[in-house]
Amino acid sequence: MRRLNASGAINFTASHNPPEYNGIKYSTPDGAPALPEVTKQIEAAIDSLQASGAAIPTVAAPPEGCEAVAVKHAFLKRLAELVDLKAIAKSGIKVVYDPFWGAGGGHAPEPDDHLLGDAKAKMKEIGAALGIATDGDADRFGIVDSDGTFIQPNYIIALLFDYLVETRNWRNGVAKSVATTNLVNALADHHKVPLYETPVGFKYIGELINQDKIAIGGEESAGLTIRGHVPEKDGVIAGLLVAEMVAVRGKSLGTQLKELFAKVGSYYPVRENFHLTADQKAAFTEKLKADPTELGGRKVVSVVRTDGLKLVLDGGSWVCYRLSGTEPVVRAYTEARDEHDMEALSAAAKHFVIG
């Protein structure tokens, strides 16, 4: 879109969701997902049109006609400029890729651990060093280590941040959503790199990419992009960069993660969804307005309201709550600093929601 100087782009997709979630994504001329002030204008125009009872206008084709554009070549060319493909080829590692066609597989095209059985089986069959999956529109990624372990996106973002600083010496900044692991925070401090913590929504990270304020930005929901690339999440470049990292370092992702923990400390993030009744949702909405001083007997040392309610606890563990805008669900993101504390922290987070 940027190469063609287009005025914008519309993408019809349900992404990683079931088909009933099919909708429209609008991207602005810079290739980034539209910010709230833009989407609100579009929604207001739709509401105004519907309220007026006027007939839906039709748009005539431009006098010069419509042009079909092949974008694949330019995209692949850019990937080759940003990723060391020769290093991947030279290493000889075997990689299994699942593009998650979705409908053909009988499930939503979500590259999450519980749906990666086929990829894991193929990896074991051929002795692959890495498994990579992308969702229906290839903007989200799922990564499997050589032993069949799913490596959650939180860790992939942190590992790639560390790797890009090491190999490209990109130190202009790093961005993550408020619900993404604080392992990124620790690495930013370790590498003396500016940290930007954004609300949930990749559009905020895209803006930082456009301004060249960050080398990499990511969200725990498996969205990631890097400096010099499109200001939108891209599961393809995420998978290729992971392959490069494994090839160049010559170590499994599990080994690399242990080394990262040894460098800056350990972090164990988990996301859980809690379904609420109407009464529970109303009560919890009121809870979100307060500033708790403790959670499950633990002292709250900081309250962050970048998006939802994030409670940072004594010792560095934290819990972040966000209400869904489409269903009676609250998402609880927890991160323990000690693996043995994960269960207790999760229980405390749940008790705060439903008692």
The CATH class, in words, for 268-354 is: alpha beta
Distance CA 101, CA 108 (A): 9
What residues contact 225, with CB distance under 8 A and at least 6 apart?
205, 206, 209, 216, 217, 218, 231, 232, 233, 234, 237
For residue 44, give the amino acid letter: A
What is the reported pLDDT for 353?
A: 92
Per-residue confidence in pLDDT tens, the chain, 355 aa: 777 888 888 888 777 777 777 888 898 888 888 888 898 998 898 888 888 887 777 777 777 778 888 889 999 999 999 999 999 999 999 999 999 876 556 777 889 999 999 999 999 999 999 999 999 889 999 999 999 999 999 999 999 999 999 999 999 999 999 999 999 999 999 999 999 999 999 999 999 999 999 999 999 999 999 999 999 999 999 999 999 999 999 999 999 999 999 999 999 999 999 999 988 888 899 999 999 999 999 999 999 999 999 999 999 999 999 998 767 899 999 999 999 999 999 999 999 998 7
Please measure the distance between the N-terminal and C-terminal CA atoms of the chain and give it in whole angstroms.
50
Which pLDDT value is given to residue 179?
97
Q: Please name which of 348, 325, 354, 324 lies closest in space to residue 335, comparing C-alpha atoms.
A: 348
CA distance linking residue 137 with residue 139, whole number of Å: 6
Domain boundaries, the chain: 72-264, 268-354
pTM for the whole structure? 0.90
- Write down the pLDDT at residue 65: 76
Using DSSP's 3-state secondary structure scheme, residue 158 falls into helix
**Distance (Å, rounded) from C-alpha 169 to C-alpha 193?**
11
How far apart are alpha carbons 183 and 265 in whole angstroms?
Answer: 8
**Which letter, b or e, does each residue of 57-73 get, where b requires 16 or more Cβ atoms within 10 Å of its Cβ?**
eeeeeeeeeeeeeeeee
Cα 56 to the center of its chain, rounded Å: 36
At 275-325, the pLDDT tens digits run 999 888 888 999 999 999 999 999 999 999 999 999 999 999 999 999 987
Q: What is the CATH number of domain 72-264?
A: 3.40.120.10
C-alpha–C-alpha distance, residues 181 and 161, integer Å: 12
